[in-house]
Amino acid sequence: MKTHKIALIPGDGIGRDVTDAAWAVLQTVATNSGFALESTQFPWSCAFYKQTGRMMPEDGIETLRSFDAILLGAVGWPAEVPDSVSLHGLLLPIRKAFVQYANIRPHRLLPGVQGPLKAEGFDILCIRENTEGEYSGAGGRVHQGMDNEVAVETSIFTRKGVERIIRFGFEQARARRGKLASVTKSNAQKYSMVFWDEITKQLATEYPDVEVTSYHVDALAARMVMAPESLDVIVASNLFGDILTDLGAAIQGGLGFAASANINPDRSAPSMFEPVHGSAPDIAGKGIANPMATIWSGAMMLDHLGERDAAARIMEALPAVTAKGIGTTPGKDSTDTITAAVIAALTA
Ligand code: GGG
């Protein structure tokens, strides 16, 4: 029997609740589909940082390298560890070390879910550049605590990095409805964002079948609210993609539904799958976190591992559950209730 080796990193807060739920669903579908999933769990988190001074061990990346994929819950415990420390200590190094340059975030309104807009049929795919740009971590601070203190944060956009993510966006658009929105703020940022626009234009000649439009990020955000049906695939930088996908999550009914895949398209290292949401310390341990985003991310993981039928079965189960009104209202149904309903839909 084919066995996929998965590194499980529940992380902080509700991360454990949602990864436990997703794992139960993944095990069910694996058993029913004739393959096996074998997990190794890693306690890397802010609690780990408090004990060891690191978010993961020095050889953490090398340890993860031998796995077929990584399933992660959430990172952050801001009362104890600054978010900038936890993000730069775990999530960002994994994305960079494993060249997971494409962060794929699907936003779809599931039946029965009431979003804030009338956006029936809302279905967009956001491709976020995941290894450079505004989150490169280049910069510094001098004269700390003095009135001449300076903080500098440098965005890094390389031709290789920009070309490969925009090309990935074109390929995704080609496989969907053939429309690509390329997002910048090139009227205000005259080096990096003009560079991005130029590369979009150059690559467009290779994809005559894709209708590409360049938008400024503010206009695109407004369009997502006012005319979401006009959009198909969005490709954006690390920061803009991060922000736009929280907007996408809101339109699809909340962060509880927003899944993501950090993909290494060349398959030279493992890819990582995680919900868009963070650790939500305010509801941690209450058993009310919506596990759908992590279950959906798990389906993306199975798809990436070549288990397409199993992934498709999960993606049929989720709307079947929400159509019954289960998991559609924040806090109404427990994590266990939603998980059991998904498992029941899978085994019906
Ligand atoms: N589920 C992953 C998580 O905890 N994300 C928190 C976060 O702040 N992420 C920022 C990012 O995705 O770059």
pLDDT digits (tens, 9 = 90+) for 15-64: 999 999 999 999 999 999 999 999 999 999 999 999 999 999 999 999 99
Count Cβ atoms below 10 Å from residue 8 Cβ, excluding itself: 20
Ligand 1 centre distance from Cα of residue 206 (Å): 33
270 has a pLDDT exceeding 90: yes
Measured in residues, the chain has a length of 348
pLDDT at 67: 98
The residue contributing the CA closest to ligand 1 atom 2 is: 74
Q: Which residues are catalytic?
A: 135, 185, 218, 242, 246
Rg over CA atoms, the chain: 20
**Span 303-323, average pLDDT:** 98
Give residue 82's pLDDT band: very low, low, confident or very high (50, 70, 90): very high
Ligand 1 centre distance from Cα of residue 180 (Å): 25
The residue contributing the CA closest to ligand 1 atom 5 is: 278
The residue contributing the CA closest to ligand 1 atom 7 is: 278
Residues with CB under 6 A from ligand 1: 74-76, 87, 91, 242, 274-275, 277-279
83 has a pLDDT exceeding 90: yes
Dihedral over Cα of 118, 176, 243, 268: its sign: positive
The residue contributing the CA closest to ligand 1 atom 6 is: 278
Phi, psi values for residue 220, rounded to 5°? -65, -40
Ligand 1 centre distance from Cα of residue 87 (Å): 7
Could you tell me where the beta strands, DSSP code E, fall in 201-246?
Answer: 211-216, 233-236
pLDDT at 118: 84
pLDDT digits (tens, 9 = 90+) for 271-303: 999 999 999 999 998 999 999 999 999 999 999
CB 200 within 8 A of CB 214: yes
Ligand 1 centre distance from Cα of residue 130 (Å): 11
CB 60 within 8 A of CB 27: no
Q: Residue 43's Cα: distance from chain center in Å?
A: 20
Domains identified in the chain and CATH numbers: 1-100+261-348 (3.40.718.10), 116-251 (3.40.718.10)
